[in-house]
Amino acid sequence: MPLTDVFCRNVKPSEKPQKISDGGGLFLLVESRGSKLWRLAYRFNGKQKTLSLGIYPAVSLKDARDHRDRAKELLARGIDPGEHKKQEKRKKRLEAGNTFETVAREWFGAQKSGWTPGYADRILRRLEADIFKPIGRRPINEIEPPELLDAIRQIERRNAIVLARRLLQVCGQVFRYAVASGLAKRDPSQDIRGALRSAGPKKHRTALKEAELPEYLAALDAYEGDRRTVLALKLVLHTFLRTSEIRFGAWSEFEALGSERALWRIPAERMKARSEHLVPLTPQVKAILQELKRLSGNSPYILPAKTKEGVISQNTLIYALYRMGYHSRATVHGFRGTASTILNEHGFNRDWIERQLAHAERDGVRAAYNSAEWLPDRRKMMIWWSAHIDGIVKREA
């Protein structure tokens, strides 16, 4: 006889457990200590099995019957309800552990060895600041395009349009890592690429013209800030290196400083193009390094500072330019363009210039990178360039 809710509520325990049938294998197990447990008896592959369906009254009579009916449907399809339940529990545990933040940190750990320390730090800080808060705790396989878009639009609302696009690309890499690892079915970032605000026309980084260099060099010599900042900006101008390549410069990277063959050998992992880069050192650059050595003490870095990274911050040089009156007039990166323009105008071989700028070769046929290529010619060019800068200073003195 089928059970009723009134009966289930009022049945009393006895000295021995009672199995009270509702039909179809469903029964209420009333234990001697008073617990009332739903159980389903069934056979699968000739074996008698029992499936736990919950505790009464948390699981009502109606809910227990619904569970029984779903189990019967699984049996009809040749699926063991007990194993199915275990798989569902396992799936939920995996989903709970595979949040976007967990997977993103795993992806970051797999990728960071191929990045410069500065770039890796920026990626992680941006994820922590802008992505983990809105979607970090969500199971990665449950995140849909509208949810991801809302997180990206929070960045756009700060008018950080370029950053929003870059972080969408990073999120896409995380999702594709999850897909490859079997933690997600698809990459929702692909569906929202057309929904982002336009970044507008590309703005080239401001570069000073040759006629503007005398005023800049005078302002640099008159700068009253930290002496190491002045020397770092001089290194940028004399070597064509990027800010991150200067900031993380280590004394162990310099060779033959006391000779005419002095080199700065920057390892591939510190370069944007991921290829070793050689910078011939001119007498002017060696003089700058000698002064930095006195200021750096026993530090392994040429520009040490009490920061998380152990070197000057990524904004130190640009803020110095601002204080010198060059806000919107010049950028640190722009000095690479200044050098390139002047050297090209003075007839230097374009290949020497491009190799010294460490520009990645776009022509697949010429992509094999030789860090020492045209090194003697590049050294002559760099000597001319440092002398040219000195000449500008002397003419203005």
Q: Could you say which of 86, 90, 125, 359 is catalytic?
A: 359
Whether residue 272 lies in the annotated active site: yes
The DSSP code sequence of 101-164 is HHHHHHHHHHHGGGS-HHHHHHHHHHIIIIIHHHHTTSBGGG--HHHHHHHHHHHHTTT-HHHH
Q: Facing residues of 47 across strands?
A: 44
Vertex 323: Cα angle to 317 and 325 (nearest 5): 110
The candidate with the shortest Cα–Cα distance to 196, out of 136, 155, 250, 140, is 155
For the chain, list residues with pLDDT below 50. 362-368
Whether residue 228 lies in the annotated active site: no
Q: Could you say which of 272, 274, 286, 329 is catalytic?
A: 272
Give how far Cα 184 sits from Cα of 49, 111, 141, 180, Å: 33, 19, 4, 8
Whether residue 359 lies in the annotated active site: yes
CATH class of 5-87: alpha beta
Question: 100-195 and 210-396 share one CATH topology?
Answer: no
Vertex 240: Cα angle to 239 and 246 (nearest 5): 70
> End-to-end alpha-carbon separation of the chain, Å?
110
Q: Which CATH superfamily is domain 100-195 in?
A: Tyrosine recombinase, N-terminal domain (1.10.150.130)
Q: Could you say which of 112, 274, 333, 388 is catalytic?
A: 333
Whether residue 16 lies in the annotated active site: no
- Measured CA to CA, the distance from residue 333 to residue 365 in angstroms comes to 28
What pLDDT does residue 365 have?
41
Dihedral sign of CA atoms 206, 121, 294, 289 in order? negative
- Residue 329 has a CB neighbour count (10 Å cut-off) of 14
Report yes or no: 147 and 135 within 8 Å, Cβ to Cβ.
yes
What pLDDT does residue 6 have?
93
Amino acid at 365: V
Q: Could you say which of 277, 336, 355, 378 is catalytic?
A: 336
The DSSP code sequence of 277-333 is EEEEPPHHHHHHHHHHHHHHTT-SBSSB-SSTTSB--TTHHHHHHHHTT-TTT--TT
The residue ranges of every structural domain in the chain are 5-87, 100-195, 210-396
Q: Could you say which of 234, 242, 247, 378 is catalytic?
A: 242
Q: Could you say which of 72, 84, 369, 388 is catalytic?
A: 369
Report yes or no: 235 and 247 within 8 Å, Cβ to Cβ.
no
What pLDDT does residue 205 have?
58
Which fold would CATH assign to domain 210-396? hpI Integrase; Chain A (1.10.443)
